[in-house]
Structure 1
């Protein structure tokens, strides 16, 4: 790793077990003797070599917003089933429903390419804090500050990405205490090798989501490809499997209670650094509104999907994501209440305030906190409008595509470094992929009903929160027949929903789009004006936050007098843990492992507890092979650990002290959903697929002989000879 300014000095290492998402460089500051005592059997420098800027941790890769792990030098990556769901949907039809049936490539020539799928392999991390702040003009106001930081970030990324097939980003730690530039190799040829049937990969469905005991095989295997010379390249029939320098061999012996494990990955966002009032806003407004609005949208997708087999496939990916967000919000609310998290944060803040009042060097932290509270109160005034505006363009395909095309035309007219980050030249291939991929997700009947529901809500907003574009096109008061008729006309007379026309629009100027007189495009252009205004307002807030939050966070860390792990920000992290059960409530004690027998006990023959026939046949015949846990006397399916995880850790490799894969992280327990706001060792449990369940399915159910040989589990021809 290149020069990296540590956020804090890692001392008192024994206190770090469980809690904390640590950066690769921070791992090197831990006491090696303590790590060895916990169960680490490789030198910490093998995890990350600061001279080379890489190590075993680089075997954990970013996959489409999830995490994955190389498990063979031939480019094989294991991740979650739900993380490759778009590839399954892309290649599914009512006649060949891969979502339901699953998929196994018998040879490399059968592997399925994933439109827009990307794998990022970490290469280096560089502290750029000084460079970022040096770019801010003296006396800059909040908007100017944010624009200057954004401009510098673009310049740093552009310089970093001069290397071919490179993906870079600048991540902020603790609200701006530190900025780090990450450099990754981007692999754009990603193909599906194996996905279990939906009755395995989603066993238990929404009912079991975020719960324990769990019996879900939430994993899939993909492969990264490169050009014949080893360089990263777009999809081509001439490409060859990517040669991974670091990978995690499969630990066929699995795990047992109290075993040491590490969870590696790219956790997305946590909220532990928020002020108590910000937490309270999420508890009182944000999560209840998600449950309310997304609950209605989910019902619409379910009802419309049941009317049409092709429509059911089209809405599957969106429905899955919405259900997850919906249930997560309920878990957040329950956890915030159960753990008294807002109250505890208020008490914690009060202690820091009392401490800082006695120290002149932290006077700035007190005034910063006061201003942050004032800004929070201002944001609350437009919460409803902002939430609906985000949902209209984010959840409904038609207006979302129209706004995207409008914004693309406006931003492409600017020099690259002056555009919004999401519309820069480096992002255009991804936007093109999305414009094409969304065709597979589009089901007009469902989309129209969702749009209708959100128009109704927007027309109920107060005078200070109106969405002008909706008022203009649909009126200020809700009349279902009139609004429905206008929506029918909007969908019937647009070309935005036709893929070939949409692809043409992506290259047109704003004037050309307006000249089309397309009603949906015109709506998108009207709505985009409000989006632009909101973006500027949020930039101003971001500038204020980066001016104020670092002052407060430095006081918090100084007051703690011990390591304070930074919030998750989608950068590579590692969490140390033990395999553990837990007691969710009085009188209940959960063991940390589940088995194949438990899968069959839940089997009802009806979704979501319908075990696929071939899986049930192997289980009932007790075709366990070598994958039985001698202590459990059965094939293990899932296990718990007390790792500190969050969204983005989906698909994270769970590895043992030797650096071998023992599981694939895919969820948290219900009592731990609010872990995003604070770690509670009593209930902080992540849920993993046991690697032995993976191997049992490949061996005893799928007879995936070639794949098992490639993974080094079964003796035979070399992996390169697999056909």
Structure 2
């Protein structure tokens, strides 16, 4: 009996590791030690070496960061890249015109020569990583201020980057983890000749629009395809007609067998940011101060964009990308507010911190950890209203092209004025190009309305923290109606006309710049945004040290149970299973872990911006023309669910089976688990994926681009 009880105790002690197998965004270099056995039990058939190897090709060689913000994967021996439609959205919109609207109508290059190069697009391959914690932390000590600490660390980082970039061949990034308690360096290789191969029409790639965003059941073909080009030796090269498709070290085979409940699912990608270690005060600040301002500011910007976007296809293209990005985070932040409030996440964190505080004030711990929790709480209490203020301003900067003009084009003109004639001759072409690009992506009547509306929101809603002086004065003189002022400022400003900028370049004058109304207003806003009182500066310094000690102490005391660092746009692996949600009458699928083309067609609304579909889709579904991509049940599966732990930045990540074969493309999460960036919920957390068979059906059957599918390595 004693042996049985002992076995049960041991089993219970070991349960948290296995029970939490789906939680975590893991470093590839530690898979063998931390995760491989769990993954094998769940269905992995690869060795750790086949996932991450420095000396041999492995899965990591097929995973790229896409344009600095998403993930993508190589799916052919000729450098074919698959990512989300919303990740390629900027490039597709840039290459579209009102006459040839690739975003609206879709596009598939009939051959390599027809593939189109956007002005700026790159993919980043991960080469290797290593731990440099001891080296970097040997350069700092507890008596340093946060500024001095950062200076010493940055100096060592610069040395590490230089040692590993091989004369500029590689990009090297040294990143902090566990709030600065560990450091790792990452070596990357960037390819900048990336061309559009194809995209479905927006009615497929963005089906469901804002209404279905973050929702399940989902029926969205969120994918697009590009190709990486290199010089004849396979090295990165600027765009040239002489470049050839990259021959990658590894590309992902594509599995046509489909998925079922409890199948193993693994995702590799570049998750942007999680805050699993965030203190209770930070969660409370976000829920009550920062995020409500974000939501309100984003909605104000969106409303003023939309009334112009609806006027014509040309204006829709001008703001399509900015609107989509703003809308995505608008709904995300509202979902975060609702989820964090519903689940009382800050209370859970506060209880953990109270437990930690008791441990911290034991005699053997007090000197190092005793003031950690009070210092953190003091910082949040002091900065709550500034957080609200800053989020109103951030949304002004994000939605208005002219809100931060003083720090963008204005900064370039400042440098131009101060330069000698020879230097000016070098700077002028780039400034003209920058101005032309900015104005091409704006519509001045819309920009006037966006800026006026955001200024009114900012000056009337940031009531607990002083607003920027110039904005305050204008508001007081005009009863916070900025319309008249903004209209006049646009009429007078040199920043609203390429001709005026050229005239300034011909006869530069600091006086003209200093008296430009948009320049003055913008500098006032950005200067005020970046300023802080001495009290806040000191509290911020103390908070930085205390947050680092909190994470260190939570790990040392075992009160904190998280075994992985927060996401920070470095390559991670997450694993789990295909997993349904409770039955939902809105989903016609037999099991609520997938959706079908039938379900998509049932949502169809002719002419609706979010739920319209091409007539051909309706006809092909009616005749059940699914070709070789139909599931065993006879339907065409569109999206499916897994319980992987992902976040923003994982968009476009490959979903792989136990053999490392591509089964889907991650593109979203469910709103019920929107607190997932702060606290993982094993019951609710789901990843929404495009079924790879639907992707191939859209390319081959719907679009008639079978030659693209033929490039891939298909596995039945």
User: Aligned-pair distance for 1:459?
Assistant: 3.1
User: Please, which of 285, 289, 294 is the counterpart of residue 285 of structure 1?
Assistant: 289
Cα distance change, pair 492–551 in 1 and its aligned pair in 2 (3 A) = same
User: Aligned-pair distance for 1:380?
Assistant: 1.7
Residue 10 of structure 2: aligned partner:
none
Cα deviation code 1:612-652 (max 9, x no counterpart) = 1222222222111111111x321111000000011111111
Cα deviation code 1:657-681 (max 9, x no counterpart) = 1111100000001111111111111
User: Aligned-pair distance for 1:502?
Assistant: 6.4
**Worse-superposed segment, 202-211 or 370-379:** 370-379
Contact 1:407–1:528 under 8 Å retained in 2: no
Contact 1:290–1:329 under 8 Å retained in 2: yes
Contact 1:301–1:319 under 8 Å retained in 2: yes
User: Aligned-pair distance for 1:381?
Assistant: 3.9
**Worse-superposed segment, 351-360 or 509-518:** 509-518
User: Please, which of 541, 548, 551 is the counterpart of residue 550 of structure 1?
Assistant: 548
Any residues of structure 2 matched to 1:61-460 within 5 Å, and which?
61-64=64-67, 65-136=69-140, 139-154=143-158, 156-157=160-161, 160-161=164-165, 163-358=167-362, 360-361=364-365, 363-407=367-411, 438-460=438-460
Whole-angstrom CA distance in 2 between matches of 1:404 and 1:199 = 35
Residue 719 of structure 1: aligned partner:
none
Contact 2:219–2:600 under 8 Å retained in 1: yes
**Worse-superposed segment, 192-201 or 349-358:** 349-358
SS of the counterpart of 1:665? strand
SS of the counterpart of 2:371? helix
Contact 1:315–1:441 under 8 Å retained in 2: yes
Residue 618 of structure 2: aligned partner:
616
User: Aligned-pair distance for 1:58?
Assistant: 3.2
Contact 1:126–1:181 under 8 Å retained in 2: yes
Cα deviation code 1:303-322 (max 9, x no counterpart) = 12223432221111111111
Cα deviation code 1:395-425 (max 9, x no counterpart) = 21012233223445779999xxxxxxxxxxx
User: Aligned-pair distance for 1:591?
Assistant: 1.1
Residue 575 of structure 1: aligned partner:
574
Residue 417 of structure 1: aligned partner:
none
Whole-angstrom CA distance in 2 between matches of 1:594 and 1:552 = 44
Whole-angstrom CA distance in 2 between matches of 1:337 and 1:539 = 29
**Worse-superposed segment, 259-268 or 307-316:** 307-316
Contact 1:13–1:31 under 8 Å retained in 2: no
Output the TM-score relative to the length of structure 2.
Answer: 0.88
Equivalent pairs, count: 687
**Worse-superposed segment, 81-90 or 448-457:** 448-457
Residue 484 of structure 2: aligned partner:
485
Whole-angstrom CA distance in 2 between matches of 1:628 and 1:604 = 24
User: Aligned-pair distance for 1:469?
Assistant: 3.5
Cα distance change, pair 211–131 in 1 and its aligned pair in 2 (3 A) = same
User: Aligned-pair distance for 1:110?
Assistant: 1.2
**Worse-superposed segment, 521-530 or 296-305:** 521-530
Cα deviation code 1:266-306 (max 9, x no counterpart) = 11111111111110111111222222222222111111222
Contact 1:672–1:683 under 8 Å retained in 2: yes
Which is greater in Rg? 2
Contact 1:399–1:524 under 8 Å retained in 2: yes
Contact 2:294–2:392 under 8 Å retained in 1: no
Whole-angstrom CA distance in 2 between matches of 1:654 and 1:701 = 23
Contact 1:402–1:521 under 8 Å retained in 2: yes
Residue 19 of structure 1: aligned partner:
23
Contact 1:90–1:440 under 8 Å retained in 2: no
Cα distance change, pair 628–232 in 1 and its aligned pair in 2 (3 A) = same
1:696 aligns with 2:697: yes
User: Aligned-pair distance for 1:73?
Assistant: 2.2
User: Aligned-pair distance for 1:15?
Assistant: 3.6
**Worse-superposed segment, 287-296 or 655-664:** 287-296
User: Aligned-pair distance for 1:260?
Assistant: 0.1
**Worse-superposed segment, 358-367 or 318-327:** 358-367
Contact 2:72–2:81 under 8 Å retained in 1: yes
Residue 426 of structure 2: aligned partner:
none
Whole-angstrom CA distance in 1 between matches of 2:531 and 2:630 = 60
Cα distance change, pair 453–568 in 1 and its aligned pair in 2 (3 A) = same
Whole-angstrom CA distance in 2 between matches of 1:157 and 1:644 = 30
Whole-angstrom CA distance in 1 between matches of 2:385 and 2:711 = 58
Contact 1:142–1:540 under 8 Å retained in 2: no
Cα distance change, pair 516–250 in 1 and its aligned pair in 2 (3 A) = same
Cα distance change, pair 599–569 in 1 and its aligned pair in 2 (3 A) = same
Residue 495 of structure 2: aligned partner:
496
Residue 422 of structure 1: aligned partner:
none
Cα distance change, pair 35–509 in 1 and its aligned pair in 2 (3 A) = farther
Contact 2:409–2:435 under 8 Å retained in 1: no
Contact 2:298–2:399 under 8 Å retained in 1: no
Cα distance change, pair 563–585 in 1 and its aligned pair in 2 (3 A) = same
Residue 636 of structure 1: aligned partner:
637
Cα deviation code 1:315-359 (max 9, x no counterpart) = 111111111111111211221123221221122222223344446
Whole-angstrom CA distance in 2 between matches of 1:410 and 1:139 = 39
1:707 aligns with 2:713: no
* CA RMSD in angstroms, aligned pairs only: 3.4
Residue 6 of structure 2: aligned partner:
none
In structure 2, list runs of 5 or more residues that go unmatched: 1-13, 419-428
Cα distance change, pair 160–378 in 1 and its aligned pair in 2 (3 A) = farther
Whole-angstrom CA distance in 2 between matches of 1:270 and 1:185 = 25
SS of the counterpart of 1:682? coil
Residue 718 of structure 1: aligned partner:
none
Whole-angstrom CA distance in 2 between matches of 1:710 and 1:161 = 33
Cα distance change, pair 82–440 in 1 and its aligned pair in 2 (3 A) = farther
Whole-angstrom CA distance in 2 between matches of 1:54 and 1:432 = 45
User: Aligned-pair distance for 1:17?
Assistant: 1.7
Residue 721 of structure 1: aligned partner:
none
In structure 1, list runs of 5 or more residues that go unmatched: 1-9, 415-428, 716-723
